Structure 1
Amino acid sequence: MRRLREDGAPHGFLIRQMTVDDLAAVMALEQAAFKNPWSQELLKRELQHEWSTILLVEEAQESGPPLLLGLAIFWIVHDEVHVLNVATAPQHRRRGVARAVMEEVLERGKGRRCCLATLEVRKSNEAAIQLYRAFGFRPVGIRPNYYADEGEDAVVMVLDF
């Protein structure tokens, strides 16, 4: 588990790798965060792939287990990081959860000597696009009707390390 720092001060988030025991909590987060969440079967498959990582962002509570705030799912294949999913629980948005997990994703990619990171983001998700731009991602194309559920286009973004 890693406690991340922002501007030199601890922000209280814990980031760790998901296990199968986290499945119920992750499914609840996916369902709260998205109209079309990932399925339990798809998450289980991602846990089995050696190139896939699911990171959870948690916050300690005074009593009880840590609270799940968000997650990121990404692949590292050869020298590339591909971000598949970033989710934050709706009630914890605008707290730096997505920023914290993206920092960790990119650090892991750099640690594995990746030279490129890619992702797709809904064209309408301006908050996410701005977050990715803040990391240095740049738009390089559009995938028409990428989100088949609503026929929405995806913006393809790339970051060179």
Structure 2
Amino acid sequence: MDELMFYTEPMQQADVATVAAIERLVFTMPWSANAYSYELRANPLSHYSVARARSLPRGLDERGVDPSVIGYGGFWMMLDEAHICTLGVHPDWRGRGVGELLLSTMIQQASELDAQVVTLEVRVSNAPAQHLYEKYGFTSVGVRKGYYSDNGEDALIMTTEPIHSPAYERRFNRLQRMLRSRLLVEQPARA
């Protein structure tokens, strides 16, 4: 049987310290561990996932970090819109499909929650993220001037077409198949 190199699962309180450690590595304005704890505990609109590497051991190391957690993402479900509020991948794991797996997981969850569209903000300088979002049908619909307070950088507002439209569902299903094929690990046959 084949399995994926990476998998996602709902973020738990036990994951918060690891997520916060990755957050500090990848963002100039990181959320605190307390912010993530609050989101999981008290925000009924929030939906967070972590990505894990199958090849790494689960459990906390001496620093209180779980090395199997290599990325995370989250969105808020507001009326008929899923708003992606964060997506981060540990720098050592970038370029391997982890971010794409998290993005596709969030879009799938949003669809199951009857979201009509998915939206997000992204730094105008973050071309790799924009490319991934465009691959999944996000288009730029506006700019938030000076959105990022660390350097006054603008944010692009990106949104999908309706995710339940036949055209979007075809695109999403095709991308899911391609991603699954990319992330498959062949397992030895069992006797």
One-letter amino acid of the counterpart of residue 158, structure 2: M
- Could you say which residue in structure 2 is the equivalent of 1:21? 14
Q: 1:1-161 residue pairs with structure 2 within 5 A?
A: 10-47=3-40, 48-61=42-55, 63-65=57-59, 67-160=68-161, 161=163
User: Greater helix percent: which structure?
Assistant: 2
One-letter amino acid of the counterpart of residue 59, structure 1: A
| Structural RMSD (CA) | 1.4
Q: Secondary structure at the match of 2:145?
A: strand
The percent of aligned pairs where both chains have the same amino acid is: 32
Q: TM-score if structure 2 supplies the norm length?
A: 0.76
One-letter amino acid of the counterpart of residue 158, structure 1: T
Structure 2 stretches lacking a partner, 5+ long: 60-66, 164-191
Q: TM-score if structure 1 supplies the norm length?
A: 0.89
1:92 is displaced (CA, Å) by: 0.4
CA distance in structure 2 between the aligned counterparts of 1:55 and 1:11, rounded to whole angstroms: 16
Using the TM superposition, name which of 87-96 and 60-69 deviates more.
60-69
Q: Secondary structure at the match of 1:152?
A: coil
Q: Secondary structure at the match of 1:22?
A: helix
Question: 1:92-143 deviations in whole A, cap 9, x for unaligned?
Answer: 0000011001101001111111111100000000000000000000000000
Q: Secondary structure at the match of 2:49?
A: strand
Structure 1 stretches lacking a partner, 5+ long: 1-8
How many residue pairs are counted as aligned between the two chains?
153
Ranked by relative contact order (alpha carbons within 8 Å, sequence separation 6 or more), the top structure is 2
Q: Provide runs of 4+ in structure 1 moved above 6 Å.
A: none
- Could you say which residue in structure 1 is the equivalent of 2:172? none
CA distance in structure 2 between the aligned counterparts of 1:42 and 1:147, rounded to whole angstroms: 18
Q: 8 Å contact 2:56–2:68 — kept in the other structure?
A: no
Q: Secondary structure at the match of 2:100?
A: helix
User: Greater strand percent: which structure?
Assistant: 1
CA distance in structure 1 between the aligned counterparts of 2:76 and 2:56, rounded to whole angstroms: 34
